[in-house]
Amino acid sequence: MRSTVTAKLGILMLDTRFPRIAGDSGCPDTWNFPVRYRVVEGATPTAIVCEDPEPFVQAFMAAGRELVASGCTGIATTCGFLSLIRPRLAQALGVPVAASALEQVALIQAGLPAGQVVGILTISAQSLTRDHLQAAGVSLDTPVQGTDGSSFSRTILRDLPTLDVDAARADLVRAAAQLVSDHPNVGAIVLECTNMPPYAEAIAQATGRPVHSIVSYLNWFHAALAPPRFSQS
């Protein structure tokens, strides 16, 4: 659904050119409710994932203030690595902020049977640090599997203009299979990267595990921003 003036959810976008297909949080067609986007210029995938997001914090805040001024009552982002700046964003904007799919991990863990744990699939295990995990409230012993070096990671991190969807799907299914093979006690998977949800169904089918993502997170988040109206008749 296209963004409209009635949007309650505002999404801060990285500055990208790679294709954003349905299921990607940056694609309006992903959502069955209106959203409003703002691009943070210069905040490329490489800058935020592989380098230091600190130089862009003020720009994220400024873009977030524009979204709040337009009527948005909750803010999200299009990169799971931005868990690092969520506390400052929330403080600066004065509204709830859902910065990263990783922020769901503790809730999902609480619902799993004893002996099972949440596993994380990330676009870059090399770049996902203890600081990112701690900022999102994730236990440091949580199993993590990256798609480092894959066609999917190269396309997103190098911000390439074309995306091989079939290759990306295969990359993510392969990485997820490795995650549950290395950690059989993984009872649910969280997709850190906001570009991974288009492949969530394939991952769930391949692993037999429930798969959570920024899409599941923001559907939950938005339900509180715009609660459904129920007929009392």
What domains are defined for the chain? Answer: 9-100+217-225 (3.40.50.1860), 101-213 (3.40.50.1860)
pLDDT at 167: 98
Reported as half-sphere exposure (CB side, CA atoms, 13 A), residue 125 has a value of 15
Q: Which pLDDT belongs to residue 175? A: 98
Alpha-carbon torsion angle 18, 39, 193, 211, nearest 10? -110
Residue recorded with tokens 């990671």: 153
Mean pLDDT within 123-135: 97
Task: Read off the pLDDT of residues 66-89 as tens digits, 9 standing for 90 and up.
Answer: 999 999 999 999 999 999 999 999
Return the pLDDT at 1.
42
In the predicted model, is pLDDT for residue 3 greater than 90?
no
* Per-residue model confidence (pLDDT) at position 2: 47
What does the alpha-carbon distance between residue 103 and residue 105 come to, in Å, rounded to a whole number? 6
Residues 6+ apart with CB under 8 A from 188: 108, 112, 116, 118, 119, 209, 210, 211, 212
Taking a C-beta distance cutoff of 8 angstroms, is the pair 52, 46 a contact? no
Contact 38, 180 (CB under 8 A): no
In sequence order, the 6+-apart residues with CB closer than 8 A to the CB of 46 are: 157, 158, 159
21 falls in which pLDDT band (50, 70, 90)? very high
| pLDDT tens sequence across 23-54 | 999 999 999 999 999 999 999 999 999 999 99
Q: Which of 225, 4, 213, 2 is nearest to 97 (CA)?
A: 225
| Mean pLDDT across 129-142 | 97
Structure-token match 């799919």, residue found: 101
